[in-house]
Amino acid sequence: MNAQALLTRLRGQVPLLVTAVLLVSMFSVGSVQYDGFFSGQVVLNLLIDNAFLLVVAVGMTFVVLTGGIDLSVGAVVALSTMVSAWLVEQHGWPPLLVIPLVLLMGTAGGWLMGWIIHVFEIQPFIVTLAGMFLARGLCYTISVESISITDPTYTSMAQTRIPLGDLFVSPSALIALLVVAAAFVVLHYTRLGRNVYALGGSEQSALLMGLPVQRTKTTVYAISGFCSALGGVLLTFYMLSGYGLHAVGLELDAIAAVVIGGTLLTGGSGYLLGTLLGVLVLGLIQTVISFQGTLSSWWTRIVIGALLFVFIVLQRLITARRR
């Protein structure tokens, strides 16, 4: 690798390094300011409380790496909780049948949106916005009220704590980390991953190189749909209910985590590790505000918005220098 290529690669990793430094700095400041903040359990609680967001953000990373966007993820999460609660509580279906069905629905919906985007050459923003309205509307055709879940399988998953010495973690957090590990392998060690990066770099160039653009694009949106449905399953374990207003705005949180994690919105550059760090940063912001005790929860949105501005400007500076 020559010096110019090495410099370009290092420049592309600047947002990831900034996110890592930001995370360490926030944790250090919190540890100095608040008693009990500096503990392994606080870190694990970030994973426990944000497992569903992490899974959704993984799927969003695939989409953003291709230069696309998926605004339907929050609505698909809500629909997954509603379908799960409706089938399990009101129709007596076993969870071992309901969960695969929900995952299949999410995957099929994502694949369909990806197919429409490619075949009809429609902007992903428009197609996934339609998917968002459709999924959210389907929630209210099931019920306008929240449906509580009392099934033993779901309550067991919600209450189980896996010991790690003096600490503990939830099954949902372990599932989320397994999803991150699997996505990391796919993105960095498989042909599909290379195609995703190539498509994000330039779709026209990918076509000229003979890469399977349509298959890659539909697969990426199918992965996002699968991750959204799985995030809905994890949220169902967390909330023990299905509700049409669950996960409102989650698509924006997922995009924020991906961007703060260093993935370029224009596609072609980014890392799964960055998305994990981005989710931890969002969770840590909420934790700091919770420890502070006097600030409104709306400050979480204010801080996230400010961070997004900073990282978008940073991305712009990096891409301008590349040119």
CATH of residue 223: 1.10.3470
Lowest-pLDDT choice from 121-135, 211-225, 285-299? 285-299
**Structural domain contains residue 126:** yes
**Structural domain contains residue 323:** no
The SS3 of residue 224 is helix
pLDDT reading at 152 higher than 70: yes
Pairwise CA distance, residues 312 & 264, whole Å: 8
| Phi and psi torsions of 50, nearest 5° | -120, 20
The answer for residues whose C-beta is within 8 angstroms of residue 46's C-beta and 6 or more apart is: 279, 280, 283, 284, 287
**Structural domain contains residue 125:** yes
C-beta of residue 62 within 8 angstroms of C-beta of residue 223: yes
| Phi and psi torsions of 167, nearest 5° | -105, 175
pTM: 0.93
**Structural domain contains residue 3:** no
Residue 241 forms beta bridges with which residues?
148
Pairwise CA distance, residues 110 & 84, whole Å: 18
**Structural domain contains residue 313:** yes
Q: Give the pLDDT of residue 10.
A: 55
How many domains are contained in the chain? 1
Residue 169 forms beta bridges with which residues?
162
Residue 314's pLDDT band (boundaries 50, 70, 90)?
confident
Residue 40's pLDDT band (boundaries 50, 70, 90)?
confident
Domain of 19?
14-317
Q: How many CB atoms lie within 10 A of CB 34?
A: 16
**Structural domain contains residue 2:** no
**Structural domain contains residue 99:** yes
The SS3 of residue 115 is helix
Burial (CB count <10 Å: 0-12, 13-18, 19+), residue 150: exposed
Pairwise CA distance, residues 179 & 185, whole Å: 10
The SS3 of residue 190 is coil
